[in-house]
Structure 1
Amino acid sequence: MKSFNICLLLLFITSSSLIAQEIDTVPIETKGMEIKLKRSPLPSRTGILNYTPVKIPPVVIAEKVNYWKVRTSVGINLNQGSFSNNWKAGGVNSLAIGGLINYRAEYRKEGYGYVSEVMLEYGKVKNKDQLQKKTRDRIFWDNKADLRLSKSWYFFGSVTFESQFDKGYAYFRENNVEQASLVSKFMAPGYLTESIGFEYRPVGYFSTRIGTGTAKQTFLLDNVRNKKYNPGNYGVDTLKNFKNELAFQIVSNFDKQIFKNVNLKARYQMFIPYDRPLVHVDHRLDVELRSQINRLMNVTLTGVGLFDKDADDEIQASQALALGVAFTFPR
């Protein structure tokens, strides 16, 4: 009987294991069921996160867009030489001084622009036993407004004024004594030029103005009439102090640093009056080569070539080499 009970118990345990195995392997249809699996088997703690808003006061920046570019250059040149009375190599005591002020203001906004440039130059030299002479003397003021038409072309209008500060003389010797004859002074002559047309500016350092409508006024406000040294009288009639001309004008400007600390600036102007285009064409070329030695000192080589039949039938030329001190604002 005891053996029968043990056999029955073993049969019951075996049957339970088989039933459990069959239940574990029953296929389950998972179609249509939403099963979400956790990315990490580790338990994670979730809860409510509390955020406290922080008030940040707005920051107002007191800055304005400046469409103006202003530059001012001031230069001073001084040359001096002296010799003793027994200096066998020869020479003459001399003192020369010159100054230059160059102011340029440029405004650019969208397609509109305005440029104003002022150049003031004056210099004198005094040699022993000779009269004082000018080495440079010029007043130049150019104003131009333009409207952009395309990438490189602009429509422009300009007004230019040019004259000199001091009296100008022609020098000669009479009875071995140096004499001077007055040929020019302030506003004798003076030039005022108005021009409208088109400007070609492919790059920032080069531009050419084509002034199809140009008017030029020549002034002789003082009675400077020197038939010997200025027979053309600057193109103004003998009994008048004013002359107006309509013309075609071309003005080209070049201003670029061609080498390290070396800048080349050039301006060419051609003036063709409409009433005499084949017999009278004025040309003027101004070239300045400036080398910056250090923050203050520089060497400047300048040259001017001028052909104007109203003043002279031949080409006029001047050249100067100077070592001086220059200040530029802003730096």
Structure 2
Amino acid sequence: MRKLPVFVLMLLLSLVFQKAIAQKVDSVRIDTVRKDTVKTDTVRTDTVKIDTNQLNRYRIEPGKNILPVHIQPLNLRPEYIPVPELDYKVSYWRKNIIFGFNLNQSAFSNNWSGGGISSIAVGTNFDYKTEYNKEGKDFTSELILLYGKLKNRGQIQRKTNDRIFWDNKVSIAFSKHWNFYGSLSFESQFDEGFNYSSDVNVAPTLISRFMSPGYLTESVGFEYKPVTYFSARFGTGTARQTFVLDPNIQATNNYGVLPGRHVLNQLAFQIVSNIDKDIAQNMNLKARYLIFIPYDTPFKMTHRIDATLTAKINRLINVTLNGTLLYDPNTSDRIQAYQSLALGVTYKFPSFR
């Protein structure tokens, strides 16, 4: 057999060796990117996942820009935009006006078998309240007017209600719940008041009229107001003048005014507490309690409670229950009471400045 040349044998061996290596690494591809000797190896994607976090290690930085770049400085300056003037004004006043009218009427024919007397009763009430509050300074003024008449067939007309009450208060806060206050209040009535006898043949007795009696009370002291709907005044310095200007009044004890005089002056300690709160939906309770203790006769103190419960049926129709308890040793040695229940129209005027 003829021998192959040496270089031919070596060539054949080289080809066989390269073919074996190519078959072994058939699934692997190696790419080499030369940028400052950076190498990236890629393996088969069906068996090995690529770690993308490693790509940041081989991030290729862009080359420098051969063109010069000039950076301009950033200048900021304020720009004033004109704002139109708004015609808004803050009002520190709150005003409420409430007017009520009640009517009760009944009529019977002459042959009504059940008996009865035709009658008509009319009642009105007017409540005006204004308040100014700013930076601990408060001014409150409240005017309450009540008047009612009853007329039964065959009888003279009689009063069912009659009151004038005007209260004014100025206060300055010196702590969160305490104020120093000064107040001035006036109380009297519109019409003449009579005492009727059970004997129809006896003429009624005149016992009261305007400014007989009339009360003027000045008070200074401290006010406690923990919440918006409750307050209590402690009048350490209170003076009250009781007026009986009509000498024909024939009231018991003449309201404490001595015979031949028209004014009674008293110095006292006074407590006045007020509550005005919605106790339920469409139901309001308004009450005022007063105790008047004269310094010269402390055991002859005066107590008075006025309460009004109002239930709102709709925007205009209300049911009102009024009640008053009074103990005044200058008018009677027993407790006096008044109560009324009325269904009528009550209108609250819109607030205004």
Same fold, TM-score > 0.5, yes or no: yes
CA contact (8 A) 2:212 2:249 kept: no
* Unaligned residue ranges in structure 1 (runs of 5+): 1-20, 27-36, 39-45
Residue deviations 1:91-131 (CA, integer Å, cap 9, x gap): 11001101111000000000100100000110100001111
* Unaligned residue ranges in structure 2 (runs of 5+): 1-32, 39-60, 63-69
| Equivalent position amino acid for 2:213 in 1 | P
| Equivalent position amino acid for 1:75 in 2 | G
Match status 1:267 vs 2:267 = no
In structure 1, how many angstroms separate the alpha carbons of the residues matched to 2:123 and 2:317? 14
| Equivalent position amino acid for 1:94 in 2 | S
Cα RMSD after superposing both structures: 2.6
Deviation, structure 1 residue 276: 0.5
CA contact (8 A) 1:188 1:224 kept: no
In structure 2, how many angstroms separate the alpha carbons of the residues matched to 1:178 and 1:91? 23
Instruction: Quote the residue 2:261 is aligned against.
Output: 240
In structure 2, how many angstroms separate the alpha carbons of the residues matched to 1:306 and 1:190? 16
Which of 294, 298, 307 lines up with 2:318 in the alignment? 298
Instruction: Quote the residue 1:181 is aligned against.
Output: 205
Instruction: Quote the residue 2:349 is aligned against.
Output: 329
> 1:295–1:308: structure 2 CA closer, same or farther, 3 Å change rule?
same
Match status 1:143 vs 2:168 = yes
Instruction: Quote the residue 2:117 is aligned against.
Output: 92
In structure 2, how many angstroms separate the alpha carbons of the residues matched to 1:191 and 1:22? 111
Equivalent residues, number: 289
Deviation, structure 1 residue 329: 1.5
Superposed, 1:166-205 pairs within 5 Å as 166-174=191-199, 176-177=200-201, 179-205=203-229
CA contact (8 A) 1:130 1:178 kept: no
Residue deviations 1:231-253 (CA, integer Å, cap 9, x gap): 21000011100111000000010
> 1:148–1:88: structure 2 CA closer, same or farther, 3 Å change rule?
same
CA contact (8 A) 1:163 1:190 kept: yes
Residue deviations 1:62-97 (CA, integer Å, cap 9, x gap): 111100000000000011000111112221100110
Superposed, 1:202-281 pairs within 5 Å as 202-226=226-250, 230-278=251-299, 280-281=300-301
In structure 2, how many angstroms separate the alpha carbons of the residues matched to 1:314 and 1:193? 24
CA contact (8 A) 1:184 1:224 kept: no
Runs of 4 or more off by more than 2 Å in structure 1?
Answer: 21-26, 46-49, 53-58, 176-179
> 1:24–1:217: structure 2 CA closer, same or farther, 3 Å change rule?
closer
> 1:61–1:276: structure 2 CA closer, same or farther, 3 Å change rule?
same
CA contact (8 A) 1:83 1:92 kept: yes
| Equivalent position amino acid for 2:272 in 1 | V
In structure 1, how many angstroms separate the alpha carbons of the residues matched to 2:106 and 2:311? 24
Secondary structure of the structure 1 residue equivalent to 2:203: strand
Secondary structure of the structure 2 residue equivalent to 1:250: strand
Instruction: Quote the residue 1:109 is aligned against.
Output: 134
Matched residues, percent identical? 53
| Equivalent position amino acid for 1:264 in 2 | L
- Under a length normalisation based on structure 2, what TM-score does the superposition of the two structures give? 0.77
Which of 140, 143, 158 lines up with 2:183 in the alignment? 158
Secondary structure of the structure 2 residue equivalent to 1:172: coil
In structure 1, how many angstroms separate the alpha carbons of the residues matched to 2:83 and 2:291? 58
Residue deviations 1:204-238 (CA, integer Å, cap 9, x gap): 11111000000000011111331xxx221000011
Deviation, structure 1 residue 24: 4.5
